[in-house]
Chains A and B, each alone.
Chain A
Amino acid sequence: MNAFTRTSIELLVLGLVGIAVSFGANAVRETGFIKLTKDYFDKGNPGNKTKPDGVALPADDSSSVATPGASMQSGRPASSSLSGGGVSTHLQHGYQEISFDDVVGILNDPQTAQGLNILVDARKADLFNEGHIPGAIHCDPYEPQASIETVLARANGVEKVIVYCGGGDCEDSVFMCRELIEASVPNETIFVYPGGWSEWTAKRMPVSTASEE
Chain B
Amino acid sequence: MDGQENAGLHGERGIVDRRESILRRLDQSGIPLLLVRLILAATFIYMGAMKVREPFDFLKQVRMYHMLPESPPIYLNATAIVLPWLEIIAGLALIGGFAVRGAAAMLGIMLCVFTPAIFLRALSIQAEKAISFFQVVFDCGCGTGPVVIWTKLLVNIGLLALSVIALVSQSRRFCPMAWLEGRPPDPSS
Contacts from A to B (Cβ < 8 Å): 3, 6-15, 17-19, 21-23, 25-26, 32, 34-41, 83-86, 124, 140, 142-143
B73 touches A15 (CB 8 A): no
Contact of B81 among A15, A36, A86 (CB under 8 A): A36
Of the listed residues A8, A25, A36, the one surrounded by the most CB atoms of chain B closer than 10 A to its CB is A36
Taking a contact as CB atoms closer than 8 A, the residue among B56, B71, B99 that contacts A142 in the complex is: B56
Task: Find chain A residues with CB under 8 A from B86 CB.
Answer: 14-15, 18-19, 22
CA gap between A32 and B80 in the complex, in Å: 11
Q: Which of B9-17, B21-29, B101-109, B150-158 contacts A (4 or more CB under 8 A)?
A: B101-109
Residues of A within 8 A of B74 (CB): 36-37
Nearest B residue to A16, CB-CB = B89
When the two chains form the complex, which single residue of A3, A26, A32 contacts B101, counting CB atoms closer than 8 Å?
A: A3
Complex contact B81–A26 (CB within 8 A): yes
Contacts of A142 in B (CB 8 A): 56, 59
| A8 neighbours in B (Cβ, 8 Å) | 102
The number of chain B residues with a CB under 8 A from chain A is 37
Query: In the complex, which of the residues A17, A38, A85 contacts B129, with contact meaning CB atoms closer than 8 Å?
Result: A85
Which chain B residues lie closer than 8 Å to A40 at the CB level? 56, 59, 73, 77
Task: Say yes or no: is B55 at the interface (Cβ < 8 Å to chain A).
Answer: yes
Q: For the complex, give the distance between the alpha carbons of A84 and B84 in Å.
A: 32
Those of B58-88 within 8 Å (CB) of chain A: 59, 63, 70-74, 76-78, 80-82, 84-86, 88
Distance of A12 from chain B, by nearest CB (Å): 8
Whether B33 sits at the interface, judged by CB under 8 Å, is: no
B89 touches A21 (CB 8 A): yes
Q: Does B93 contact A (CB under 8 A)?
A: yes
Task: Rank and list the top 8 A-B pairs by shortest CB-CB distance, nearest first.
Answer: A10-B102, A22-B85, A10-B99, A18-B86, A18-B89, A39-B73, A142-B56, A11-B102
Do B103 and A10 have beta carbons less than 8 Å apart?
yes
Nearest chain-A residue to B63 (Cβ)?
A41
Q: Which of B122-161 contact A (CB under 8 A)?
A: 125, 128-129
Cα of A42 to Cα of B54 in the assembled complex, Å: 20
Whether the pair B82, A19 counts as a contact (CB closer than 8 A) is yes
**Chain B residue contacts of A22, Cβ below 8 A:** 81-82, 84-86
Which B residues fall within an 8 A CB radius of A? 52-57, 59, 63, 70-74, 76-78, 80-82, 84-86, 88-90, 93, 99-103, 105-106, 125, 128-129, 167
Whether the Cβ atoms of B102 and A13 lie closer than 8 Å is: yes
24 of the cross-chain contacts (CB-CB < 8 Å) are A3-B101, A7-B101, A7-B105, A7-B167, A9-B102, A10-B100, A10-B102, A13-B102, A14-B103, A15-B86, A18-B85, A18-B90, A19-B85, A19-B86, A22-B85, A34-B80, A36-B78, A37-B73, A37-B74, A38-B77, A41-B70, A85-B128, A86-B129, A124-B57
- Give the residues in chain B near A84, CB-CB below 8 Å: 129
CA distance A143 to B89 in the complex (A): 27
Whole-angstrom CA separation of A21 from B87 in the bound complex: 12
Residues of A within 8 A of B56 (CB): 32, 34, 40, 140, 142-143
Known pairs A15-B106, A37-B72, A41-B63; A6 contacts B101 (CB<8 A): yes
Contact present for B106 and A11 (CB under 8 Å): yes
Which of B74, B80, B89 counts the most chain A CB atoms within 10 A?
B89
| A41 vs B77: C-alpha distance when bound (angstroms) | 11
A132-B73 Cα distance, complex, nearest whole Å: 31
